[in-house]
Amino acid sequence: MDLRAIAETASSIGGQIVRSARSEVPSDEKGTGDYVTEVDRESERAIAAFLEERTGIPVVGEESGGGIHGTYWLVDPLDGTTNFIHGFPAVGVSVALIEDGRPVAAAVHAPFLAQTWAAARGGGAVHHRPDGSTVSLSVSARPVERAIVGTGFPFRRKHALPRYLASFQRALERFEDLRRPGAASLDLAWVAAGVFEGFFELGLAPWDVAAGGLLVEEAGGVVSDWIGGDAWLQGDILAGAPAVHAELLRIASTGPEQPTA
């Protein structure tokens, strides 16, 4: 069973629903700045139906939940719902298979950009381009001082702002520039593709980072939590080319009370 191909197909199924929908659909607010639409729900239902029929493996989705244990699919049916509502095309559909707490197959699809990134553990990562070609992914080799690094603000967890803002300032001082598109799955796919050199964020959910994290690892990058451990699926994530990841870890490890010289 080609699990990477299955993840690609599943992400494309969700992407077709997202792409055909209007951004002006009604939305519900799950929390401050955290929205869900019927498009999210319809995409998740279609993805789950395909995965369960094709593989028999249970599905854990952002909207429907499920048991996070054993082997399961982890799905974000519309990453960047706020972007979608506002007509900003940086949205993704993220599908990852989790075994023993680690992603082993994954795909991220950008429905409005006509691109898909996919990976299998130990099998590398690929980019399906809009022109129909497929290329292998490899993280960037740009030097640290020229790095463009993606990020996201912890708007749902204001208590994390002091820690985040201290790291944000140091990152902006250390790297060439920062970017905040607003869809972590795409941020991580762009790191894997060498568009960005790194990515850092606090307080994400497992479905935000599972697929993209595997893409980065299989493209030769490094992924960790903010203390250098392997608990990044919990949502505090640093990812990048090896030298940039090392610098992100140094930055994140310096608390807000201890600015770098």
Q: What is the pLDDT of residues 86-141, one digit of tens each?
A: 999 999 999 999 999 999 999 999 999 999 999 999 999 999 999 999 999 999 99
| Cα–Cα distance measured from residue 39 to residue 21, given in angstroms and rounded to the nearest whole number | 7
Average pLDDT, rounded, for the chain? 92
Tens digit of each residue's pLDDT (9 = 90 or more) over 131-159:
999 999 999 999 999 999 999 998 777 88
pLDDT for the residue 121: 98
Q: What percent of the chain has pLDDT over 70?
A: 91
Task: Mark residue 43 as left, alpha or beta (left: phi above 0; alpha: psi -120 to 50; beta: remaining).
Answer: alpha
Can you list the domains of the chain with their CATH numbers?
A: 3-136 (3.30.540.10), 144-253 (3.40.190.80)
User: Which two structure tokens, joined as six digits, stand for 126?
Assistant: 């690929």
Q: What integer pLDDT is reported at residue 258 of this predicted model?
A: 42
**Please, which pLDDT band fits residue 21 given cuts at 50, 70 and 90?**
confident
Would you state the pLDDT for residue 259?
A: 38
Reduce the DSSP state of residue 78 to 3 states and report it: strand
pTM of the model: 0.92
Q: How confident is the model at residue 51 (pLDDT cuts 50, 70, 90)?
A: very high
